[in-house]
Amino acid sequence: MPQALAGYRICDFTGQLAGAGATKWLAAFGAEVIRIEDPVRQGRWDILRGAPPFKPGQRGIDHGGAFNNHNTEKLGITLNLKTDKAKAILRRLVAISDVVAENFAAGVLERWGFGYDALKTIRPDIIYVSNCGFGRAGPYSRFKTWGPIVQAVSGLTYTSALPAQPPAGWGYSYMDHTGGYYMAMAILAALYHRERTGEGQWVDLACTDAALTLNGPALLDWTVNGRGQRDMPINSNRSQFGAMAPHGIYGCAGDDAWIAIACRTQTQWEMLAQLIDAPWTTAFRTLAQRLANEDALDGHLSTWTSAWDKYALEAVLRERGIPASAVQKPAERVDGDPAIRDFGLWPTVRHTAMGEVRVDGLPVHFSRTDWRIERGGPCLSEHTDHVLTRLLGLPADEVAALHEEGVL
């Protein structure tokens, strides 16, 4: 099968998830992604290198499960950019790359002498995509972030909560994933622009900008109606702006077992009321009644669901055309859900140190140029010799000497 992005080369300084997640997509579609890491700190700028989860009995800089997950199909080299010889090698690599990507704090690449102006002198049509929390301009441009901070500042944490509770926020770095998606879009868009015009450019991406745009209707409610989320009771399990009821997550029989139920239409509610078959449902005939007394409705419904097994109830509700889904635990959705299993979502990769291990695949399939994830993330410096001799044409003895000198 042909690969959609074959022939593109990415000089990749990204790490963690917000950056590495972006170039993972490019590599899966055939771009040659060359990760550059610092040999002195053993690539530990990316805190996921050498961090759990580990396969049983494994540990160490080449065994980080998250690092492997985000860096499949990439090549890995080391360059000590404090040395002039490493800088010279990087210049040669940039000269044959289409894209330079990074998610350092603002200004790091400039300090090494590889800001956009410098990159442009090496290759005039280079695409440079930087991704940092607050971007390069604005009062907070020097501030530090990681996923939870981006989510906090942008409004995504505040709007995820139950009543009379502090914000629940997101139990993972939603904006590291999503920042990576926007970074991938930025790289792809800049490549598309270059294909049509010949022009390269620098895209300064800020994760917090992207995050801010993910609550659009609430922002318009503010700018148009002057109504802010700060003024409203927050219950993010309920429907956005009271469009549906019931709409929530209800307890089921068993330990920490829950089901999500939503009635989008009047018919769906009537089907549900028929199934429940209890006198209390008659007080909730119309959507207006259900919205006006949603706490009482949820109370009754919770009592009813608590006797059910979550999957048994899901089956019964789905059979009646009522939107419902069990809240699935990782094991249940990864290995138990046939719709996910049959999509081929969890490819097994071969990793040089970890052996065979399953990773997140991509939730898409292309009929002509589908993605391929077969090789695990690179061990530290795994492809240095290959890249320097094969791509840059350095003699093997010179590469050996560079290792000796601490350049690689």
- Measuring CA to CA, how many Å separate 190 from each of 86, 128, 135, 175, 202? 27, 9, 18, 22, 9
User: Minimal distance in Å, beta carbon 122 to other proteins?
Assistant: 19
Nearer CB in complex with other proteins: 197/303: 197
Nearer CB in complex with other proteins: 79/200: 200
User: Minimal distance in Å, beta carbon 158 to other proteins?
Assistant: 5
User: Minimal distance in Å, beta carbon 232 to other proteins?
Assistant: 9
Nearer CB in complex with other proteins: 206/402: 206
On whether the CB atoms of residues 387 and 11 are closer than 8 A, the answer is no
User: Minimal distance in Å, beta carbon 400 to other proteins?
Assistant: 32
Nearer CB in complex with other proteins: 296/345: 345
Report the alpha-carbon angle 13-19-21, nearest 5. Answer: 120
On whether the CB atoms of residues 13 and 102 are closer than 8 A, the answer is yes
User: Minimal distance in Å, beta carbon 259 to other proteins?
Assistant: 7
- Measuring CA to CA, how many Å separate 157 from each of 151, 204, 247? 5, 24, 20
Nearer CB in complex with other proteins: 195/397: 195
User: Minimal distance in Å, beta carbon 11 to other proteins?
Assistant: 18
Nearer CB in complex with other proteins: 279/363: 363
d(CA 61, CA 76): 13
Residues in CB range of 128: below 8 A, 6 or more apart: 99, 100, 101, 116, 119, 200, 201, 202, 203
Burial of 197 (0-12, 13-18, 19+ CB in 10 A): exposed
